[in-house]
């Protein structure tokens, strides 16, 4: 199964967030052990790189790039199909544009799960959403 990773999950993992890193790390390890792979979008990459670029932290930037280029991470483009579905997601469910794009990318690319810690996204009906707590 492909598990789509919301940007917050990746940031917590790469930056070793003291509260969330243990939870995210354990969840990603369990998924890997089960043979799952991970999906992200070009938007996810962009959102993850903003912090290190803003702070000028070259090491953290390299850590994000290393995560995005792992062999078990697939980067999905923001295709016309993804953008069209995101427009419907945004219109029907009133999610913010970045959330609508990420949810649409998960659906359009056949992901079996969307992993986030944003509880608002749990009400999305088109892909199972797991909210880390």
User: Residue 79 is encoded by which pair of tokens?
Assistant: 């295709």
CA distance 115 to 117: 7
* Domains within the chain, CATH numbers bracketed: 2-131 (3.40.50.1010)
DSSP string, 30-56: HHHHTT-EEEEEHHHHHHHHHHHHHHT
Condensed to tens digits (0 to 9), the pLDDT of residues 72-116 reads 999 999 999 999 999 999 999 999 999 999 999 999 999 999 999
What confidence tens digit (pLDDT) does each residue in 28-52 have? 999 999 999 999 999 999 999 999 9
Segments in the chain forming alpha helices (H):
7-14, 21-33, 42-55, 58-68, 80-93, 97-108
CB 4 within 8 A of CB 114: yes
The pTM of this model reads 0.97
């Amino acid at each position: 199964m492909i598990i789509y990773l919301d940007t917050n999950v990746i940031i917590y993992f790469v930056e070793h967030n003291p509260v969330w890193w243990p939870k995210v790390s354990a969840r990603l390890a369990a998924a890997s052990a089960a043979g799952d792979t991970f999906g992200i979008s070009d938007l996810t990459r962009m959102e993850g790189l903003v912090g290190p670029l803003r702070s000028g932290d070259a090491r953290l930037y390299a850590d994000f790039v290393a995560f995005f280029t792992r062999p078990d991470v697939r980067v999905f483009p923001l295709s016309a199909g993804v953008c069209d579905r995101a427009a419907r997601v945004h219109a029907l469910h009133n999610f913010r544009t970045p959330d609508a794009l990420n949810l649409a990318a998960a659906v359009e690319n056949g992901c079996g799960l969307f992993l986030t810690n944003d509880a608002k996204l749990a009400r999305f009906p088109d892909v199972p959403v797991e909210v880390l707590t």
